[in-house]
């Protein structure tokens, strides 16, 4: 047995980008299965690569360290958290419905991840967006049709594979038909089991042989049992019966949906009992990462000592985890050196160097976002716009809303004044009535009553305003001048800016 067996099935987060914390260096030396990078670890590709190289240097021999990141494009980005993603996201790709484009986007993103030294992308989302009021999935899904989701999930995973990046389909058995964010509480898929299997599970069945890992969700399917899928033997058995042989990864086990009174350590043991292979602990901004690692390893080792957990099963899990490491020493050196080019799917040339890879990603993402854009009415601006952002808080997964739309409008030649409706509604309405042009920015007006009330009040004052909706198409409000952005990333914002200003570049 190489290293502490308990450590080999853990995926840990850590704070900052300055270096490797001493506790994490010890954990890696002890055989830690992997680390997951968050936005605070990834200020840019070059810094991320330096940090990843430092992590790997802590264990030069023995099983490789899996380096994972949550990089979906669109609303969820870590490497481009500061500016917004260069990809428009899954909903936009599903709306275009060109699998070759989706495959090329996955390959272009994979080239950037490879340059950063990443092994595993926690994408694509195979959730079927059947609930317009869903607070956490929405535009992260390719769409509401299981066949479309499977088609584009497969294409995206193939693109990642062409760049040497492992994929992780999520969130099994499907998080799309829920109205609860598992960061906050435990969601329940209330549909009959037959519906869940035919609609939500179907894309996972279709991709059982196409992805390297599957992430289980903190979602209860009542007919399958009282436990959430991440702690349920039913979920892991169902994946294996469908032919999936890769690593089963849990969603973050620090979420309130599962930890509750049991505590993180006990939750980790339950996940392993259920058949999970790799336990995602928690984000470093949600819980002290060293304390989380210590609690998890102590609980797992105690369960091994009492026979509650079987060492042979954990060894098998650790072996599946180790197979996620895609970048050997030769590939790692190539990725940080000369601008070698590899031909990806669809004939797209994928430069290994980070600068060229980022430029290729941005070019492709810009074209994809424009193809996905939906426009109703004449949305061309005829004066300097007042941008009123009525979007509620972003989801835990996406992080805070950025300034991508204001930046994109200004760059496209429409200097914009941004107004957040923090002032009394009467003052905002007065400003709105006096502006030459008004653009309202929405995301979940259908699902968030506060956002809906603000939008109704403001559009009553300016019914001629342009409404830019960043959520799913079926959750869009009615408006005479409407733009469906299908995401909040930089590529989405630039496509909207082009439509509003008539820019062609």
Give the residue numbers annotated as catalytic, written as ranges.
183, 251
List the structure tokens of 32: 């830690």
* Interior angle at CA 247, CA 241 and CA 253, nearest 5: 105
Q: How far is CA 493 from CA 370, 401, 487, in A?
A: 10, 12, 8
3 state SS of 169: strand
Within 10 Å of residue 186's Cβ, how many Cβ atoms? 16
3-state helix, strand, coil in the chain (%, to 5): 45, 15, 45
- DSSP labels, 482-496: EEE----SHHHHHHH
Among 499, 425, 431, residue whose Cα is nearest residue 466:
499
List the structure tokens of 208: 């059982």
Q: How far apart are CA 386 and CA 313, in angstroms?
A: 59
What's phi and psi for 294, nearest 5 deg?
Answer: -65, -45
CB 469 within 8 A of CB 443: yes
CB 142 within 8 A of CB 90: yes
Query: Burial code of 329-350, b = ≥16 C-beta within 10 A, e = fewer?
Result: eeebeebbeeeeebebbbebeb
Q: How far apart are CA 60 and CA 55, in angstroms?
A: 10
DSSP state of 33: -
Distance of CA 53 to the CA centre of its chain: 23
């Amino acid at each position: 047995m190489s290293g502490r067996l308990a450590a080999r099935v853990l995926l840990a987060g850590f704070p900052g980008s300055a270096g490797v914390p001493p506790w994490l260096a010890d954990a890696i030396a002890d055989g830690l299965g992997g680390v997951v990078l968050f936005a605070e670890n990834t200020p840019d590709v070059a810094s991320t690569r330096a940090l990843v190289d430092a992590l790997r240097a802590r264990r030069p021999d023995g099983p490789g360290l899996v380096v994972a990141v949550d990089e979906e494009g669109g609303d969820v980005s870590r490497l481009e958290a500061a500016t917004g993603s260069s990809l428009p996201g899954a909903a936009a790709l599903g709306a275009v419905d060109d699998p070759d484009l989706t495959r090329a986007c996955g390959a272009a993103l994979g080239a950037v991840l490879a340059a950063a030294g990443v092994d595993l992308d926690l994408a694509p989302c195979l959730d079927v967006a059947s609930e317009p009021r869903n607070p956490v999935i929405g535009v992260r899904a390719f769409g509401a049709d299981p066949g479309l989701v499977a088609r584009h999930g497969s294409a995206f995973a193939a693109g990642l594979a062409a760049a040497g990046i492992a994929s992780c389909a999520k969130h099994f058995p499907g998080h799309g038909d829920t109205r609860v964010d598992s960061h906050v509480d435990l969601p329940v898929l209330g549909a009959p089991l037959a519906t869940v299997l035919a609609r939500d599970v179907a894309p996972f069945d279709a991709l059982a042989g196409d992805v390297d890992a599957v992430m289980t969700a903190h979602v209860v399917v009542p007919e399958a049992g009282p436990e959430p899928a991440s702690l349920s033997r039913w979920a892991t058995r169902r994946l294996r019966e469908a032919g999936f042989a890769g690593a089963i990864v849990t969603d973050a086990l620090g979420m309130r949906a599962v930890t509750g009174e049991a505590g993180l350590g006990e939750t980790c043991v339950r996940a392993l009992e259920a058949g999970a292979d790799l336990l995602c602990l928690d984000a470093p901004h949600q819980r002290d990462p060293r304390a989380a690692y210590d609690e998890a390893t102590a609980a797992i080792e105690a369960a091994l000592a009492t026979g509650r957990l079987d060492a042979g099963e954990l060894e098998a899990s650790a072996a599946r985890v180790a197979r996620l490491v895609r970048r050997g020493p030769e590939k790692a050196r190539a990725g940080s050196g000369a601008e070698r080019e590899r031909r990806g799917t669809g004939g797209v040339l994928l430069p290994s160097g980070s600068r060229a890879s980022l430029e290729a990603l941005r070019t492709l993402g810009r074209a994809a976002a424009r193809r996905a854009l939906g426009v109703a009415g004449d949305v061309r601006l005829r004066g300097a716009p007042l941008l009123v952002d009525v979007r509620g808080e972003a989801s835990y997964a996406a992080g805070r809303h950025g300034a991508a739309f204001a930046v994109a409008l200004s760059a496209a030649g429409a200097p914009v004044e941004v107004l957040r409706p923090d002032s009394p509604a009467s003052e905002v309405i007065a400003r709105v009535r006096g502006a030459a042009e008004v653009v309202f920015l929405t995301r979940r007006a259908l699902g968030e009553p506060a956002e809906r009330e603000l939008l109704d009040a403001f559009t009553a004052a300016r019914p001629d305003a342009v409404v830019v909706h960043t959520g799913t198409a079926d959750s869009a409000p009615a408006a005479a001048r409407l733009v469906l952005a299908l995401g909040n990333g930089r590529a989405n914002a630039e496509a909207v800016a082009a439509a509003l200003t008539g820019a062609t570049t």
